[in-house]
Structure 1
Amino acid sequence: MRFLLAIPFTIALAACAADLTDEGMSVRQISLASADDCRFLGPISASESMGLDEAMDMMSAYNKVRNLVAQMGGNAFIVSSTHTSTSSTVVQADAYACPRM
């Protein structure tokens, strides 16, 4: 019986992961050396917590970064820092608009 009660809870947690938007799908992580021809748009930060595991939190935080970059009109980002714990992940990055990659 406990197992049956855990199923809806697990599904609800999995549904909390950030989805990648169509625009976010075109955003790529680049290196600092690749940013020479790019225009800096600004710093961004995204976090995720209480996912099924650390990997899901990380994936969801990166999806949020990509979506934020796209909302700013960018198509690339450089990660400046990440922090992962057992309960959350925070990704800080710089957004860029680069010539078509």
Structure 2
Amino acid sequence: MTERVILEADGGSRGNPGPASYGALIRDADTGAVIAERGETIGVATNNVAEYSGLIAGLEAVPRAHSRRGSRGADGLRARHRAAGGSLEDQAPRHDPVGGDRT
């Protein structure tokens, strides 16, 4: 069993919204070996939705990697903040893939 893993996740869209995709990579924290990878084209979405989708896909893959502890990384401020349990509010209504539609 892998004791610790590192989750690296990213997502993006060409335009906002626009054609979007994400990728997630899980590595053994001690050896750097790739344990699992996920990636998908998700159609037309915002950059934030693509970022969240990558983070969610990676987190869903971690249990299958048989890890007890892990750390996570994402380059999107909103995704990192949300993963830490916070929220970043803005004035425009948007779809939140973690919490549903929010107005």
Is TM-score (shorter-chain normalized) higher than 0.5?
Answer: no
Structure (1 or 2) with the greater strand fraction = 2
Q: TM-score w.r.t. structure 1 length? A: 0.32
Larger relative CO (CA 8 A, sep 6+): 1 or 2?
Answer: 1
Q: TM-score w.r.t. structure 2 length? A: 0.31
Structure (1 or 2) with the greater helix fraction = 1
Q: Which has the larger radius of gyration?
A: 1
